[in-house]
Amino acid sequence: MELTLDSLKRILRDGAGADEAVDLDGDILDTEFDELGYDSLALLETVARITREYRIPLDDDAATSAKTPRELLALANAA
Amino acid sequence: MTAVFTGLGVVAPNGLGTEEYWKATCAGEDGIGPVERFDASGYPARTAGEVPGFDAADHLPSRLLPQTDHMTRLALVAADWAIADAGADSPEMGVVTAASGGGFEFGQRELQNLWSKGGEYVSAYQSFAWFYAVNTGQISIRNGLKGPGGVIVADQAGGLDAMAQARRQLRKGGRMMLTGGVDGAICPWGWVAQQAGGRLSTGEYLPFDTRAAGHVSAEGGAMLVMEDAAAARARGAHGYGSLAGYAATFDPKPGLGREPGLRRAIENALADARIEASTVDVVFADAAALPELDAVEADAINAVFGPGGVPVTAPKTMTGRLNAGGASLDVAAALLAMRDGVIPPTTNTEPAPRYRLDLVTTARETPVRTALVLARGHGGFNSAAVVRLDWEEH
């Protein structure tokens, strides 16, 4: 099952909330997670949720290597 | 160096917000009721003091909700209110909180996930959300504070010990400190731990009463901004009063027949404040509500002040005991008592004559310029703090 941007946004919101100053529904594919208000722990939680829900074996290093939603989606969908 | 309190934030079972709490407290309004945060019907203790009307989403950004225990959310809001009340903050501000165990409710949920589903189902935020230093960390991060951080774990006494540590940081040259405690463990895991401690009442919370049989557990507490008096004066800040004296002692090993440490804590706190016992206008009691511990406290107070020699009150009869949050809330109450010239009541209790205390059971209007706050922790901790309305150098 492919991880879509919409699913990623839902997982981010569920697992780590959303910064009030950021519009997640805007064009965020190439916006760095840092700018979106997500720190490394938020990404660890997100990666854990992707692994659980999609049975995609992502390791914790993936969380820190992917800087943007596009990079994380590419990693998840290539795994 | 005089440490002055310039901001208050209160989250209490009988009032969310400083003025709500204080109005209810002076009116003798109780915040204790059946446990609602979980089904406690199968436990011996079934009542608690729960903070009413608190929806974290009304006060905190959604980024913080998945990573915080209920009591941390309460602490963050109390800290926000204390900073706003002080009318100033500073990136150099430090934080010292009191804690008992950390986020029990959060921890229980994640441990249940671990055991029932597996490690991959445990939240990444478990790494700190259940940790006893979590409130200090989250408050620092939320407010961008770069000053010294710390946490004190000494059961109920910790609320006073944290303030003393904050005062030490000011003495070392710190500009402002945020201190106090907000606590709570009203969930099955926290409940079992407290039940095992053997001090929970299965009925009411009646300190200094012949019917005393333990306390009611509660959540909440207070956060306070503390700063150097000279700096506070320079910025024209409103000060509620000073932390004029503090001392902590430890009880001797049980069975030796030696006197418990509470009297020494009181005497040392008075000495630290450089005042005589007769200067004290009111004592906020620890109020353990176990006959032996009530007798120890009454004996210590009477040894220093003489039988019936000082008004004594325990407004925590309206909230229950807040673990690490309790003494901070008592200090907040003492500061407000001084502001308004009223001693808040001890409710529900019928004072037993054998304790020979002047226990204030209805709100008493009287000037209050100096208050002594007592707090004891399970295992032998005794702490005493003197707060004074005036905050010139002393």
Q: Walk along chain B (394 residues) and give the pLDDT tens digit of each residue.
A: 999 999 999 999 999 999 999 999 999 999 999 999 999 999 999 999 999 999 999 999 999 999 999 999 999 999 999 999 999 878 899 999 999 989 999 999 999 999 999 998 999 999 999 999 999 999 999 999 999 999 999 999 999 999 999 999 999 999 899 999 999 999 999 999 999 999 999 999 999 999 999 999 999 999 999 999 999 999 999 999 999 999 999 999 988 999 999 999 999 999 999 999 999 999 999 999 999 999 999 999 999 999 999 999 999 999 999 999 999 999 999 999 999 999 999 999 999 999 999 999 999 999 999 999 999 999 999 999 999 999 865 4
Three-state SS at B187:
coil
The answer to whether A62 and A75 have CB atoms below 8 angstroms apart is yes
Q: In the A/B pair of chains, how many CB contacts fall below 8 A?
A: 37
| Contact criterion met (CB < 8 Å) for B63 and A44 | no
Of B104, B212, B99, B231, which Cα lies nearest the Cα of B171?
B231
pLDDT at A58: 86
d(CA B265, CA B268): 5
| Contact criterion met (CB < 8 Å) for A17 and B61 | yes
Selected for mutation to probe chain A from B117, B120, B123, B141 (highest A CB count within 10 Å) is B123
DSSP assignment letter at B133: T
Residues of A in contact with B123 (CB under 8 A): 15, 45, 48
Q: Which residues pair with B311 in a beta bridge?
A: B358
For A48, which residue in chain B has the nearest alpha carbon? B120
Distance from CA of B129 to the nearest CA of A (A): 12
Distance from CA of B119 to the nearest CA of A (A): 10
| Contact criterion met (CB < 8 Å) for A19 and B121 | no
pLDDT at B109: 97
Distance from CA of A62 to the nearest CA of B (A): 15
For B118, which residue in chain A has the nearest alpha carbon? A52
B115 touches chain A (CB under 8 A): no
Q: Give one DSSP letter per residue of A8-52, joined into a string.
A: HHHHHHHHH---TT--TTSS-TTS-TTTTT--HHHHHHHHHHHHH
| Contact criterion met (CB < 8 Å) for B124 and A37 | no
| Contact criterion met (CB < 8 Å) for B61 and A13 | no
Question: What are the distances in angstroms from CA B297 to CA A44, B294, B354?
Answer: 50, 5, 12
B121 touches chain A (CB under 8 A): yes
Distance from CA of A10 to the nearest CA of B (A): 13
Residue B14, φ and ψ in degrees, nearest 5: -110, 25
d(CA B380, CA B373): 17
| Contact criterion met (CB < 8 Å) for B124 and A45 | yes
Give the amino acid at A7: S
Distance from CA of B133 to the nearest CA of A (A): 17
Residues of A in contact with B116 (CB under 8 A): none
| The residue to which tokens 């209050």 are assigned | B368
A48 touches chain B (CB under 8 A): yes
C-alpha dihedral, B352 to B353 to B358 to B359, nearest 10°: 10
pLDDT at B394: 46
| Contact criterion met (CB < 8 Å) for B121 and A52 | yes
Residues of B in contact with A14 (CB under 8 A): 66
By Cβ distance, the residue of A18, A44, A51 closest to B63 is A18
A19 touches chain B (CB under 8 A): yes
Predicted ipTM of the assembly: 0.91
